[in-house]
Chain A
Amino acid sequence: MPKAKIKRKSTWVDMTAMCDVAFLLLTFFMLTSNFTKKEPVLVATPTSVSEIKIPETNIMTILVDKTGKVYFGIDGQEKRKLLIEKMASIYKVSLTPDEIKKYTLLELVGNPMQAMQAYLRLPADARDLPQNNLGIPADSTNNEFKEWVKSAREVNPDLRIAIKADEKTPYPIIKQVMKSLQQLDESRYNLITKLEGAPGRE
């Protein structure tokens, strides 16, 4: 009996198809993605059944964290530049063009104008540390938050207000924020929530 010769198979696999798939998926992700915005603190928003989506542009975000620190930011780098210049002139803080540039790259900032310069001079990785974010004061004695909202409104009249707060934020802080908005006659705003399962109605 002749010995059957085992044919040595080549291990070469044609990668073309796999490459096609990989790049197809890559294209999909590149086109559909909008990057997650970097937030200085992590907040867990409460859930609701509301299904209204928040628009992506012309948004003024007010972030309130668990401890009650208020962060503020608007979208659009051009608008942010105008905002910080306005705030600097109101609070008589002189910022260098380089510091203004740094501010425009930040999504949300939670520092009063007095501490702004020191904050912007920090290295990027130190900015998220809790001790470097003092929170914008929103109480009745020193309501800097109101100035931010007012200036942002002057910079971009189409802004919609979105409040994003942590579930565990104590109510008095939310009340202060809402009161400040009320005083500015900003009576319509959005509360950002997560979607929860549809409720059972009996």
Chain B
Amino acid sequence: MAEISQDSGSHKKGKKRRAKKLTTRIDLTPMVDLGFLLITFFMLTTSLIKPQTMEITMPSDKKVLEEDQTVAKASQAISIILAKDDVVYYYFGKTEGAKLIKTNYAPDGLRKILLEKNYDVAKQVEDLKAEKIRTHMKEEDYQKKLSSIRANKNAPVVRIMATDDSNYKNLVDALDEMNICSISRYAIVDFDEPDKQLIATLAP
């Protein structure tokens, strides 16, 4: 009410007086408040980190023709069994009469063994990476060379078997080790009878 009367009063006077020059300065504080409020909202709701992904290709269920099947040499084969409580067992060669060795996912565990076995390929990949940085190699050329190194016939073949007691992290860790050690030929296989017996002999 007071405002209205005041307003009408000034209006009367204004007629006589010269129009007062209004300042063009506006208080921007509320606008800044609003701006920062919205910034806070956007900062909290956005995801700046895109999730990483690991691409894997599994064999399809279709029957594979006998001649298309690749038979791994026993000397190249490594079998990895992912067991309970982050324990890994591995053995080389055939299942019959194999000796299980216990290890873990630490860098000096599984990775050390795989790198030893895959020394040639891992070395070449390492060299290629260094060369890429040194010579600013094109990405295409790099990929081409990388795949030719990885196609090495003498590289080990890894069978990954997960027991029902293992969890998803174990599987991803094992697959990750394959990537780190540049092993191109690996497969996730069912944990079957002969291997089960092998593990059973070990159990206390």
A residues whose Cβ falls under 8 Å from a Cβ of B: 14-16, 18-19, 22-23, 25-26, 29-30, 32-37, 45-54, 64, 162, 164-172, 174-175, 178, 181-183, 185, 187-195, 199-202
Contact = CB atoms under 8 A, between A and B. Distances in A.
Given A53-B53, A167-B169, A182 B47 contact: no
B38 interface: yes
Contacts of B42: 26, 29-30, 33
A49 B47 contact: no
Interface in B85-108: 107
Interface in B15-67: 27-29, 31-32, 35-36, 38-39, 42-43, 45-48, 50-62
B83 to A, nearest CB: 11
Interface of B: 27-29, 31-32, 35-36, 38-39, 42-43, 45-48, 50-62, 82, 107, 111, 115, 126, 162-173, 175-176, 179-180, 188
A185 B31 CA distance: 57
Given A22-B35, A48-B172, A168-B167, A34 B47 contact: yes
17 contacts: A15-B27, A25-B35, A29-B46, A33-B45, A46-B168, A47-B176, A49-B180, A50-B53, A166-B168, A171-B165, A182-B60, A187-B57, A190-B53, A191-B56, A191-B172, A193-B53, A201-B115
A192 B51 contact: yes
Contacts of A34: 46-47
A50 B179 contact: yes
B45 A192 contact: no
B178 to A, nearest CB: 11
Contacts of A35: 45-47
Given A34-B46, A64-B168, 11 more contacts: A19-B32, A36-B47, A46-B168, A48-B179, A170-B166, A171-B165, A185-B62, A187-B58, A190-B53, A191-B172, A199-B111
